[in-house]
Homo-oligomer: A and B are copies of this chain.
Amino acid sequence: MPIIEFRPSGKTVQVLPLTELADAARLAGIQIESPCGGKGTCGKCIVRVVSGEVDSDSLGMLPHAAVAEGYVLTCKTRILESDVTIEVPEQASLEGGQFVPEDESHLIRQELLPRQWQYDPLAVKWRLNVAPPKPEEGLSDLDRLSRAIQHDWGRMQVEYSLLGIRKVADALRATNGLVTATLVRDSGRLHVINIESGDTTLRHYAIAIDVGTTTIAIQLINLAVAQIVAARSDYNDQLSCGLDVISRINYSRRPDRLDELRRRVLGTINRLIHQVAKSHGVDPHEISNAAVSGNTVMTHLLLGLNPEYLRLAPYTPTLLQVPYLRDSEIGIDINPQAWIHFSPCVGSYVGGDITAGILCTDLATETEEINLFIDIGTNGEIVVGNNSFLMACACSAGPAFEGGGIECGMRAATGAIEKVWVDPAKGTTRYSTIGNARPRGICGSGMIDLVARLFLTGWIDAAGKFERSRPCPSIRIEGRRASYVIAPAEESASGKPIVITETDLDNIIRTKASIYSACALMLNQLGLSFGDLSHVYVAGGFGRFLDLENATVIGLIPDLPRGKFHYLGNSSLMGSYMVVVSQEFRQRQLQLAQRMTYLELNTDPSYMEQYTAALFLPHTDPDRFPSVHRLKLKGKA
């Protein structure tokens, strides 16, 4: 069997002839991005064949000159009989997990969060004094334990798992019958999902998980006080299998790849859990409650469900509302007997991240005022409504604001440029980074600041092209390519400059156009206008700060009085927190999901028109953004 060596890592793997080079790389543990999901269209999985023969279809997708130098696409290349040496170009930085230094609950209006009397997780810890065995009663350990539980909880049916039963005898004897049972209440039944000797009621943890297409974020919650102990996020390990949900669906079409995607997302989740648990002295098996929120495709992939039918008419998912499943079936590294709650999905393109997210808004209250919720992720989702209607729609925004597809883009993690100021005269920048670290890249909030301020100061025009007539030390023009240096090489962590290119600007403009036009179209279809809105909630993984004024400047969000805007941060994660600490909130979420109607925008004939009109900063129609034009005049002054 031919041996494949990958440089510079030196990793090798032996594979059968005709193995796809992309598979060989994966087997060798080499991370190669495949944003298009292996269709050969994105060109991101390019490598160079240093020696050995391969069979490649890369010509036509790569320039002649590149092919002549040995460059191939891993997804379009097969190994033949000979050994091969492959050079892997340095990847765009997929940096490792970083602390999010604080929880984001302060971004949510306090009256929307569960109050102390509403703290009521699905699994509770209960201290029991189990009577010692009396031979004349002829009771087993399980009988005595069930009686003690029924003494406190009434004559409910008590159910057990075998793993739990195995611990009962020793637990009862270790502390003379003083044990703590972890109980799940399920209409008329009590499921004992853990038994520990002694009183462990103060060690009771939950995990909230936001499963994004690009980023996965978790919170560790101490249920004894319903407090967020730690939060952490990282890129979804599925990222190397496609940048968006459609690419992932393409990727999953081979059964082993469906399982690979499942293991990848599970791997990211479990790595994050181990990191937060370890750093806070918590054994993952002390986590007995979990809520997971993800879009419909991510929910399917995490459960190992074939997502194929989500993109084939009539777009029927296997499930929308996931029944409670034991974790042992799913494989998250917590108490394997825990029952996992999944935030309900509404349709193929409105998922659990949205039904979790709207819990952070007035859309979850009884108000008659009309509110808008915009969740900006790899997919953009928009919900509008009040106490009598709830409409949702989705648009394909792309991962730009999470750092995806942007040359120096990164998510909001340590070293990310999160705020940018532009000198109007010189066109140079000042910036600040998360954690005040040396800059490693730019995150969504930094991009919005940068684009807005370069636009207001005239260093880029409404089409997202750099000013070529005035000299600027930060702008580099190379033929038709132009880029802007935010941080020069000597300041950055990697020793390479942190730049934004015109291609990046294009990506950002397309993303914002997609979201704005979807909002506009949806309101239009409902006979509403932006002026009818009382509040606009913006969610997304932008980090701690999102300058909503700058978001208006670039035309991402409508031009409304600033007091109407609320930035929520990762609302899918905060909504997961709410449903995992409170069953009342879980009920509320189910009701909201049932009330929500999905609106298909793609079938609207005016969609392309609206979208194209929004492909400018802030928009082709200046009347839609009057305050931006006033600001621009000031900026130029």
Contacts and interface: CB of A to CB of B under 8 A. Distances in A.
Interface residues of A, number: 45
B138 A329 contact: no
A315 B136 CA distance: 11
A491 interface: no
A168 B325 CA distance: 16
B169 A314 contact: no
Interface string A142-180: 110000000000000101111101101110010000000
Given A140-B316, A316-B133, A316-B141, A162 B598 contact: no
Interface string A315-327: 1111111010100
Interface string A231-261: 0000000000000000000000000000000
A314 B135 contact: yes
Nearest to A597: B138
A243 to B, nearest CB: 25
A308 B306 CA distance: 47
A346 B317 CA distance: 49
A309 interface: yes
A330 interface: yes
A290 interface: no
Contacts of A141: 309, 316-319
A392 to B, nearest CB: 12
Protomer copies: 2
A477 interface: no
A134 interface: yes
A320 B140 contact: yes
A303 B142 CA distance: 14
Given A165-B305, A305-B169, A140 B325 contact: no
Interface in A256-271: none
A329 B140 CA distance: 21
Nearest to A135: B314
A315 to B, nearest CB: 7
A138 B318 contact: no
A18 interface: no
A161 B347 contact: no
Contacts of A319: 140-143, 165
A15 to B, nearest CB: 28
B314 A134 contact: yes
A18 B418 CA distance: 62
Given A159-B323, A165-B303, A304-B162, A142 B329 contact: no
A528 interface: no
A139 interface: yes
A316 B169 CA distance: 9
Contacts of A142: 318-321, 323
A160 B323 contact: yes
A529 to B, nearest CB: 28
A168 B318 contact: yes
A526 B517 CA distance: 89
A159 B187 CA distance: 13
A318 B140 contact: yes
Nearest to A331: B162
A329 B323 CA distance: 20
Contact of A325 (B161, B169, B328, B329): B161
A319 to B, nearest CB: 4
Given A318-B169, A325-B162, A138 B347 contact: yes
19 contacts: A135-B314, A138-B598, A139-B320, A140-B316, A140-B320, A141-B316, A141-B318, A143-B319, A157-B187, A161-B325, A161-B329, A162-B325, A162-B330, A163-B329, A165-B318, A166-B303, A166-B305, A170-B306, A328-B328
Interface of A: 133-135, 138-143, 157, 159-163, 165-166, 168-170, 173, 187, 303-306, 308-309, 313-321, 323, 325, 328-330, 346-347, 598
Given A138-B320, A140-B316, 12 more contacts: A134-B314, A135-B314, A138-B347, A138-B598, A139-B316, A141-B316, A142-B319, A143-B320, A163-B329, A166-B306, A169-B305, A328-B328
